[in-house]
Amino acid sequence: MFLTKRNYRQDSLPAKDAPPRLEYDILEPQFKFVYHLAKKHLLEIPQWREDISFESIDNEIFGTVEAYQQHYDDTPTGEYILLFENKIIALNMEESPTTKQISIIKEKLRI
């Protein structure tokens, strides 16, 4: 097996500072070349989508090796690609999270 992919969704109960709805894929490549292929595929934007891009963000926020946030018409969205040493997390939220929400997300994702 070259790659393990798990898909999750977490909905939060309405509460102050509750994290937004989360949908995420955890990819665990078994080989470095598969890791690089998965990274390239996730960050690739179709040519017809000129209004979407991935921008590098501070990797310390999520404690990653590299991190990217999707932008739509230069506006940040709640979609992230988080690159760790041995896994990749494609994270999709309704909106960009607050600092407190990020700490909750990190706890839930065990990162």
- Overall pTM surpassing 0.75 (yes/no): yes
- Give the integer Cα–Cα distance in Å for 82 and 48: 24
pLDDT tens per residue, range 34-82: 999 999 999 987 767 788 889 999 888 888 999 999 998 888 988 999 9
pLDDT tens per residue, range 82-98: 999 999 999 998 777 77
What pLDDT, on a 0 to 100 scale, did the predictor assign at position 19? 63
Tally of structural domains, the chain: 1
Residues 6+ apart with CB under 8 A from 68: 43, 54, 55, 56, 57, 80, 81, 83
Q: Which domain holds residue 51?
A: 3-12+20-109
